[in-house]
Amino acid sequence: MITEIIIFLIIIYFAKTIYTEFLASGNPFSSSNQQEESIIEGKFTPKTLYKYNGKDHPKIFMAVKSRVYDVSQGSQFYGPGGPYENFAGRDASRGLALNSFDPAVLTPLDEPIDDLKDLKELEKESLESWDEHFENRYKIVGTLHENGTVNEEIKGL
């Protein structure tokens, strides 16, 4: 009898583990809802983007070359305690160009958006390949604006 109870408990334990992993990986029934929720077309300023830093809001957004990506699926990277959490809710362009996750590299929220004009050729290439990475992996939910406009020069870097 005790053996049966132990076997039963082991089965319950594995079933629970598999179910939890299934939910975490985005099961087919819930993923369509998640996708719909993540499409929030919008205009962001550095300050309004900052709300989506994974601490003040469950969604995590991040800007790369004036485009805002929903990186919530990468919360293991950008969520609180993640290796790249300093990019969450921020314009990460310079950090990606310099391959640095040092928060001091990013432009303070109350300063003008970084125009990235001083980047060296290799840094521009690094930024470009990161931009492709984000384009392939995450949804664009908006653009980063200053005084109501997007800096087209940054977009075209």
Binding site for ligand HEM (CB under 6 A): 71, 74, 77, 84, 95-96, 99-101, 137
Measured from the CB of residue 84, what is the shortest distance to ligand HEM in angstroms? 5
Measured from the CB of residue 133, what is the shortest distance to ligand HEM in angstroms? 6
If the CB atoms of residues 2 and 104 are measured against ligand HEM, the closer one turns out to be: 104
Tokens 């001091």 found at: 104
Tokens 């300050």 found at: 47
Contact by Cβ (8 Å): 83, 100:
no
Tokens 């908006």 found at: 142
If the CB atoms of residues 21 and 132 are measured against ligand HEM, the closer one turns out to be: 132
Q: Where are the alpha helices (DSSP H) in the chain?
A: 2-24, 28-38, 46-49, 75-78, 93-97, 121-137, 152-155
C-alpha–C-alpha distance, residues 120 and 113, integer Å: 18
If the CB atoms of residues 16 and 120 are measured against ligand HEM, the closer one turns out to be: 120
Measured from the CB of residue 98, what is the shortest distance to ligand HEM in angstroms? 7
Measured from the CB of residue 105, what is the shortest distance to ligand HEM in angstroms? 9
